[in-house]
Amino acid sequence: MPFLEIKSADFGYNVPLISNVNASLDLGDICLLVGNNGVGKTTLMKSILGQVPLLKGKISIDGSAAETLSALDIARQVSVVFSKSEASPYYTLKDLISLGRYVYYPYYMSLTDEDEAEIEQIIEKLNLAKYRNHLLSELSDGNLQKAFIGRALAQNTPMIVLDEPTTYLDEENKLIILELLKDLAQKQNKLILFSSHDWRIAKDFSDKLWWIKDEKILTGKIIKSDKSNRLSIDEIIQEEI
């Protein structure tokens, strides 16, 4: 059974932005979501998270109908990074990343030594160690974006959804984040669904593609070849899944 399954779903607000979607993803998949501005990429992600109701159809997460899951249930299955995430500017970078662990504890409890060690590993992996105790208001846009990604990693969920995770990042940090996402899928068997306007770079770190076009989603495997950088988006879909 797929970890994420969408059946005959319409996504949108009153009027469908995307219609009759049938798609699924398994643990270990890393799927790139592409489409022009305004076609419904963020709406689709919010619907998976239960934040925007479907107009029709069903979404299942790990075999359970999404509409039967509480916000906490979903937070323990799916972590998320939106392109315009917000948090108190008075948090430090470490505070923000630590919040990811609190889907497993009441807010008044202290984190365990194991939690603290995991948070430190995430900070190191994202090359943020020297900013550990900086306030969020003191961070560059790029480092703030990486901190939100760190919070999602700290949730340690089977699935991670990211809306434009490389926004605000320079080329070096884009590659660091994309390599990290690929590593999470391949070595930790996590399901990664992310959108990106940098699809010519991002496709090299993905194995599946969801392309929103003409109010539909085209799904396929991504061609891996030396010529793929010269292909258009419709030419890199190898076959319908």
Q: What is the 3-state secondary structure (H, E, C) of 37-61?
A: CCCCHHHHHHHHCCCCCCCEEEEEE
pLDDT at position 233: 56
The rounded distance, in Å, linking the Cα atoms of 70 and 64 is: 11
Give the integer Cα–Cα distance in Å for 194 and 77.
Answer: 16
* Domain edge (last residue) among 139, 170, 186: 139
Tell me: pLDDT of 12 over 80: yes
Q: Does residue 168 share a domain with residue 125?
A: no
The band of 209, judged by pLDDT with boundaries at 50, 70 and 90, is very high
Please tell me whether residues 36 and 133 are part of one structural domain: no
Q: What does the alpha-carbon distance between residue 86 and residue 226 come to, in Å, rounded to a whole number?
A: 39
Which residue bears the tokens 């790990």?
62
Range of the domain at 95: 84-139
Q: Using pLDDT thresholds of 50, 70 and 90, give the confidence band for residue 240.
A: very low
User: Which CATH number covers residue 190?
Assistant: 3.40.50.300
pLDDT at 225: 56
The percent of residues in the chain predicted with pLDDT above 70, rounded, is 92
pLDDT bucket at 87, cuts 50 / 70 / 90: confident
- Which residue in this structure is represented by tokens 């996590």? 190
- Mean confidence (pLDDT) of the chain: 90
Tell me if 145 is assigned to some domain: no
Q: Say how many Å lie between the first and final Cα of the chain, rounded.
A: 15
Residues 71 and 173 in one domain: yes
Tell me how far apart the alpha carbons of residues 241 and 239 are, in angstroms, rounded to a whole number: 6
147 within some domain: no
**Token pair 């970890």 is at which residue?**
3
Residue 94: beta bridge partners?
A: none
Same domain, residue pair 30 and 96: no
pLDDT band at 241; cut points 50, 70, 90: very low
- pLDDT tens-place string over residues 52-82: 999 999 999 999 999 999 999 999 999 999 8
Mean pLDDT of 29-41: 93
| Integer Cα distance of 79 and 17 in angstroms | 24
Q: Are residues 62 and 93 in the same domain?
A: no
In which region does residue 66 sit, left (phi positive, over 0), alpha (psi from -120 to 50) or beta (all else)? Answer: alpha
Band (21; pLDDT cuts 50, 70, 90): very high
CA distances from 11 to 25, 41, 50, 53 (A): 18, 10, 12, 8
Distance (Å, whole) CA 46 – CA 52: 6
Neighbour count for residue 116 (Cβ, 10 Å): 14
HSE of 101, CA atoms in CB hemisphere, 13 A: 19
Number of domains the chain contains: 2
Claim to verify: residue 73 and residue 88 sit in the same structural domain: no
